[in-house]
Structure 1
């Protein structure tokens, strides 16, 4: 949890992807997240967290389904969504917070 908080506090805008290896939509989302990261470049940090390997963290954030995305701006959670989103949907949401 200390590393997690450190990342959230150190970076201006952070997108967290709670996922699992066995999750089909998570696998579909992975290349989309890469494209979104490339779109925003150094203005966005993307973190992938495997819920099976990080059960305590997933429980702490009340993750009930994967994929679940959380967006942090200046260490405050500003958006949360479960399920698969398109590249354009993600860019639209994140674009509201990235200057």
Structure 2
């Protein structure tokens, strides 16, 4: 996930240098446990749900380029703290921009 955040930050810097408007949010694609994670819970991770599929892929958007809330939940999961157990059902976070 660090490489995704770094890529977003680089994109913002390039846009700044090119005098383009800064992006207000970034789109991402998440792969989740399709039978156990409710996509509407993404809001608690600072991610707005755009679309979801039955096979566990979600398109979301975040105004937080650091994905701070998601990273905080991951930290809680790693440290076995209250509030982090559901984040394990998010398997992957990918950049949602078109290549």
> When the two structures are superposed, what TM-score results if normalisation uses the length of structure 1?
0.32
Higher helix share: 1
Structure showing greater Rg: 2
